[in-house]
Amino acid sequence: MERFTPAQLEEAACRVAARHEPGRVRAALVAGSGINLAAPGWEKSAEIPYVEIFPFPILSLPGHTPTLSVWRRGPEGLLVFNGRFHLYQGYAAAETAAIPRLAGLLGAPVYLATNATGAIDPAIAPGSLVVVRDHLNLQGTNPLIGEWGRWRPPLFPDMSEAYDRTLRAAALRYARAVGFAANEGVYAGVLGPSFETPAEIEMLRRAGATVVGMSTVQEVIAARHLGMRVLVLSLATNLAAGVSESPLTHEEVLEVGAQAKGKLLDLVQRLLDELRSEAGP
């Protein structure tokens, strides 16, 4: 398959900017399994299928609607990406990073991602929220490999505080305010798509992971590379393998995601208002 190139990304960003006028973009939101974000208080000005944006094949999973919604409020814009690209679907690292890079080129200063995870820490009940404070990239790849490292400096971006401290504190406060049990934790990013074995979960626990999932870390690296502030909200949809006796299913992940949707929307709305007040009128 042909490689997705920096020139193709830049062309895609120019096309979206010219045709859909996202305005002064305040943030980009990316929604994971079963979590369909909307933006109350904002008006949707465009809904663009990914096939019209990205030059590689677009696959969809149950629970994912692959579109970019552009929301406007006066001169301000918000990019809501409904669905992401996963390595386990066969996408290259650069393709899984296409969303944050497009958002960055369209001017988004903040990259806010949600995802579904398995709880490694037994104290984290399904349905609770983990505000990611750090990650383990165990996916065996990196979105800065090859031409993408030459595209923009730095080739070796600092990852010592990849997850924005101020946004994390706000997220934790609002998560609890909207009724989530919420704590900070470390996200272990694995390749998937098989769920982990109990032995793998034990290894991840000893390595310091709080939750495990199959997405997001490539996106975070790419977003930090472009200097965006990053916030990742992980919904614990299940106890990880071996933490609970019961077998894991994708349906369970989608169901818990659907149940938490209202609270997650409420949380995102409050975070957007916080960003607005940070930026001033």
Interaction between residue 96 and ligand HPA (CB under 6 A):
no
Stretch that binds ligand HPA, among 34-42, 74-82, 106-114, 115-123 (CB under 6 A): 115-123
Judged by CB under 6 A, the number of residues near ligand HPA is 13
Interaction between residue 218 and ligand HPA (CB under 6 A):
no
Q: Between 82 and 216, whose beta carbon lies closer to ligand HPA?
A: 216
Stretch that binds ligand HPA, among 14-22, 69-77, 81-89, 110-118 (CB under 6 A): 110-118
Maximum CA pair distance of the chain?
Answer: 52
Interaction between residue 178 and ligand HPA (CB under 6 A):
no
Contact 47, 130 (CB under 8 A): no
- Sole binder of ligand HPA in the list 118, 143, 185, 189 (CB under 6 A): 118
Question: In the bound complex, what is the minimum distance in angstroms from residue 232's beta carbon to ligand HPA?
Answer: 13
Nearest CA-CA partner of 42 in 29, 52, 58, 60: 29
Question: In the bound complex, what is the minimum distance in angstroms from residue 128's beta carbon to ligand HPA?
Answer: 13
Q: Between 69 and 115, whose beta carbon lies closer to ligand HPA?
A: 115
- Sole binder of ligand HPA in the list 22, 83, 185, 213 (CB under 6 A): 213
Interaction between residue 214 and ligand HPA (CB under 6 A):
yes
Q: Between 178 and 248, whose beta carbon lies closer to ligand HPA?
A: 248
Interaction between residue 116 and ligand HPA (CB under 6 A):
yes
Strand partners, 236: 117
Both tokens of 139, joined, read 């996916």
Q: Between 247 and 281, whose beta carbon lies closer to ligand HPA?
A: 247
Exposure string over 254-266, b if 16+ CB within 10 A, otherwise e: bbbbeebbebbbb
Nearest CA-CA partner of 281 in 8, 24, 17: 24
Nearest CA-CA partner of 50 in 94, 98, 86: 98
Q: Between 69 and 128, whose beta carbon lies closer to ligand HPA?
A: 128
Question: In the bound complex, what is the minimum distance in angstroms from residue 253's beta carbon to ligand HPA?
Answer: 5
Interaction between residue 223 and ligand HPA (CB under 6 A):
no
Helix (H, G, I), strand (E, B) or coil at 73: strand
- Strands of 120-181 (E only): list them: 129-137
Backbone angles phi, psi at 133, to 5 degrees: -105, -15
What is d(CA 209, CA 81) in angstroms, rounded to the nearest whole number?
Answer: 27
How many C-alpha atoms does 134 have within 13 Å on its Cβ side?
A: 8
Nearest CA-CA partner of 152 in 96, 99, 225: 225
- Sole binder of ligand HPA in the list 142, 216, 238, 269 (CB under 6 A): 238
Question: In the bound complex, what is the minimum distance in angstroms from residue 214's beta carbon to ligand HPA?
Answer: 5
Contact 30, 111 (CB under 8 A): yes
Point out which residues bind ligand HPA (CB under 6 A).
116-118, 195-196, 212-214, 237-238, 240, 248, 253
